[in-house]
Structure 1
Amino acid sequence: MKTVLISGGGIAGSALAHLLHRRGLAPVVVERAPGLRRGGQAVDIRGVALEVVDGMGLLEQARGMRTRMRGMSVLDPDGNEIDRSTEATFSSGRLDSADIELLRDDLVHLLHEHTRQDAEYVFGDSITALSEDADGVRADFAHGPSRTFDLVVGADGLHSTVRRLVFGPEERFAHHLGSYVSVFGADNFLALDNWQLWLQDGDAGFGIMPVRDNAELRIAFGFHSGPLDGNHRDTEWLRGLVADKLAALRWEPTRLAKAAAEAPDFFCDAMAQIRMEHWTRGRVALLGDAGYCASPLSGQGTSLALVGAHVLADELGRAGDDHRGAFARYEARMRPFVALNQALATENPGGPAAEESVARAKNAIALGG
């Protein structure tokens, strides 16, 4: 049985593990974190990605986890409402859409529970070196013993280790979009009832939504900035920077800054895209954000990960021993879809893409090839 090492146990990696197993391959998932990652923003499963989830037998469960927003308010810098909608939110689009908005950690948990019996998961470890020969790829790990696999897939995000080891430094492929986003949880100190708040104050702003039956908040805070001169893995440095920026806001600065300072699920990273001429080399392929991050500004990162996992697994399942042909077909099928979805992030700087553009991009691929 052909073995496939998947770096990254998030949405892309877990979905691929499930889909590869169904096609007769043996997936092994290595994840740097000690367990499933907590927190994260609400994500969207849209268009053809719904077909992927349906084919996995998870559509009804995913629908049961969806957010239940009634609408949103747009506030001025002092917290006064200047607009509202009961038809759409900035995070999910139209509330009457068939698309699904749910929390990232809920989707990861759903995929993992559906996959953990069929794939080997190794938490708390990471790849340190990859060496390929005619028979496979030897992977060295930070903690575990070296192992050899038939194929390797990097599904390890914007700062992909697999991409760096095989294709070169991140600076060759990352395109900064001029801002950063931080996401963290807090108690529902605003007493929001399935209602979102959005506020812009100068070069910074946020969206706040209640989750977990209104018991908690997920706060997404963004600020304009060129590339920061620091370590993107230094959570405490980023936490201090974000807390300081929140403390400078005119509305709710104290409680928002305190929430960022105390959140156990604090996250912050650049709004950036990964653009590459090739996502495959030899026996190695990149999937999702590792190969074609569209940034949260596109609203399509989750759908790209799910559809990419389906297409890659589909081609590998049909290819037998011809992984080169499978990789070439994976790239050919995915590139037009990726291009349209990455364009959503830059179509309307400072605001969402047009509904027509989202509708076209989210359906711009046929799963049957």
Structure 2
Amino acid sequence: MIDPSTSDSGAVSAPKIPVLISGAGFAGLATAFWMTRLGYRVTIIETSGGLRRGGTPVDIEGETIGILTRMEMIEAVRAKALPPRDFEFKDEEDTTLGGLTAASRPDDPSAARYEIHRDDLLDILFASVDGAVELHFGRSIAQLDDGPERVSVAFDDGSQGDYALVLGCDGNRSNTRSLVFADSDAASYYMGGYFYLRVVPKTGLLPANSTQLFSVPGRTAMLNGYDDRTDIALAFRSDQQIDYDFRDKAQQRRLVHDHFDGLGWKVPEMLAHVDADGDFYFDRANQIRMRAWSKGRIALVGDAGYCVSPVAGLGGSIALIGAARLADALQRHPDDHTAAFQEYEAELRPFVEQVQERAATAGMSTLFPADEAELEERNRKIRAGEIDL
């Protein structure tokens, strides 16, 4: 499909074969970067009217550091990196049960880890493809016809196009996944809880460069403090999924109050921010566990194919890893997308499944203990210094 000969920069000399990417988040922009470098003519569509901004910071570590180095973005990331944060587990009287101080984190270069505001990383990725790709906001896919030579795509505005490949990078509720994969609905794995997230200006509820977490059985309140803002997170466990309207913000606020009214610590001050005007995120804690990440000429990247959930703390990193692994596989199999997709999945799936399992078990019990027994075991580990954050 593409000429494997490359220049020193990694660019491929090849005809401009058209590729469609659905989604302009981390996965979509990173995938666009690599596909453009491989010589494809890239079109990105995004359902929202612009880049989706807001959200909590992103952890950059391990393989992701090497990938951003290859993308020549690591210095830009370091320039925007946030200071290390103390992490403290609190009780109702605001006594620190244990945790990890920034000064105690490993100084081994191999354990390097950066945290960057989501919007800063989004801007870095967007700058890398701005002007090099065709980008359409406010557009989505209405229909896909996957043929032996091309994918014919009908868009929601009535326009159409043919593409050699279609890459679904459109998140947890992927439209691409739902249009193409018969097991799309069954792929959502419910982790047993719901969470509320909001970023507000600095609150004074905790020092800058610190995280504080308070739990009672089935409910957790967490604050992340930065120099200029505070992340507010409230999470509760539920054995059964709740029927609610994801567009009804008032209903979601009531659900939060139903589970957190009457709690101590700093929860009343946090609930005051819940009631204030402004954007927030409310959703179930879930993962996407697909039997396959590709079908024909269509493949999924990032949360669309293998969401690990915010509990894992690696969603942004795994999107970047997935985009790079897919590009590497396509470069190794320039004339065989089927082989490339199979290699991409075979090599990445074990890592993804390991992260998903850790998030669904140790991650949930550490951050959101479900009952008295789970809370006591977590607190025992805190006292013994056995918690791995």
TM-score (norm 2): 0.83
Q: Quote the Cα distance in structure 1 between the aligned partners of 2:196 and 2:315.
A: 16
Q: Which residue number corresponds to residue 231 of structure 2?
A: 218
Against the structure 1 CA distance between its residues 251 and 8, is the aligned structure 2 distance closer, same or farther, given a 3 Å change threshold? same
Residue 13 (structure 1) aligned with residue 17 (structure 2)? no
Out of 24, 41, 49, the residue aligned to residue 34 of structure 1 is: 49
What is the Cα deviation at residue 85 of structure 1? Answer: 3.3
Tell me the C-alpha RMSD between the 2 structures. Answer: 2.8
Q: Which residue number corresponds to residue 142 of structure 2?
A: 128
What is the SS of the residue equivalent to 2:173? coil
Q: Which moves more between the two structures, 221-230 or 6-15?
A: 221-230
Q: Which moves more between the two structures, 337-346 or 72-81?
A: 72-81
Sequence identity percentage: 34
Against the structure 1 CA distance between its residues 11 and 243, is the aligned structure 2 distance closer, same or farther, given a 3 Å change threshold? farther
Aligned partner letter, 2:81:
R
1:95-144 residue CA offsets vs partner (Å, 9 max, x unmatched): 87411112222211211122112222211222222122233112222236
Is 1:235–1:267's contact at 8 Å kept on the other side of the alignment?
Answer: no
Q: Which residue number corresponds to residue 22 of structure 1?
A: 37
Against the structure 1 CA distance between its residues 351 and 245, is the aligned structure 2 distance closer, same or farther, given a 3 Å change threshold? same
Out of 57, 61, 66, the residue aligned to residue 51 of structure 1 is: 66
Unpaired runs of at least 5, structure 1: 360-369
1:1-369 to 2 correspondence within 5 Å? 1-87=16-102, 97-143=111-157, 145-168=159-182, 170-190=184-204, 192-211=207-226, 214-225=227-238, 226-262=240-276, 264-348=278-362, 349-351=364-366
Q: Which moves more between the two structures, 5-14 or 321-330?
A: 321-330
Aligned partner letter, 1:33:
S
Q: Quote the Cα distance in structure 2 between the aligned partners of 1:144 and 1:130.
A: 13
1:174-225 residue CA offsets vs partner (Å, 9 max, x unmatched): 11111122211112222522222211133221221223xx221112221112
Aligned partner letter, 2:228:
A
What is the Cα deviation at residue 282 of structure 1? Answer: 0.7
Q: Which residue number corresponds to residue 372 of structure 2?
A: none
Aligned partner letter, 1:334:
L
Q: Quote the Cα distance in structure 1 between the aligned partners of 2:140 and 2:127.
A: 21
Is 2:84–2:102's contact at 8 Å kept on the other side of the alignment?
Answer: no
Is 1:184–1:218's contact at 8 Å kept on the other side of the alignment?
Answer: yes
1:5-55 residue CA offsets vs partner (Å, 9 max, x unmatched): 111111111111001111111221111221111211222122111111110
Superposition misfits of 4+ residues, deviation over 4 angstroms:
93-97, 233-236, 352-359
Q: Quote the Cα distance in structure 2 between the aligned partners of 1:137 and 1:234.
A: 36
Against the structure 1 CA distance between its residues 71 and 190, is the aligned structure 2 distance closer, same or farther, given a 3 Å change threshold? same
Q: Quote the Cα distance in structure 2 between the aligned partners of 1:149 and 1:281.
A: 15
Q: Quote the Cα distance in structure 2 between the aligned partners of 1:117 and 1:278.
A: 33
1:250-308 residue CA offsets vs partner (Å, 9 max, x unmatched): 23344322322335331122211211221100111011111111112222222221111
What is the Cα deviation at residue 242 of structure 1? Answer: 2.7
Q: Quote the Cα distance in structure 2 between the aligned partners of 1:249 and 1:139.
A: 51
- Equivalent residue pairs, number: 354
Q: Which moves more between the two structures, 131-140 or 237-246?
A: 237-246
Against the structure 1 CA distance between its residues 154 and 33, is the aligned structure 2 distance closer, same or farther, given a 3 Å change threshold? same
Is 1:239–1:266's contact at 8 Å kept on the other side of the alignment?
Answer: no
Unpaired runs of at least 5, structure 2: 1-15, 368-377
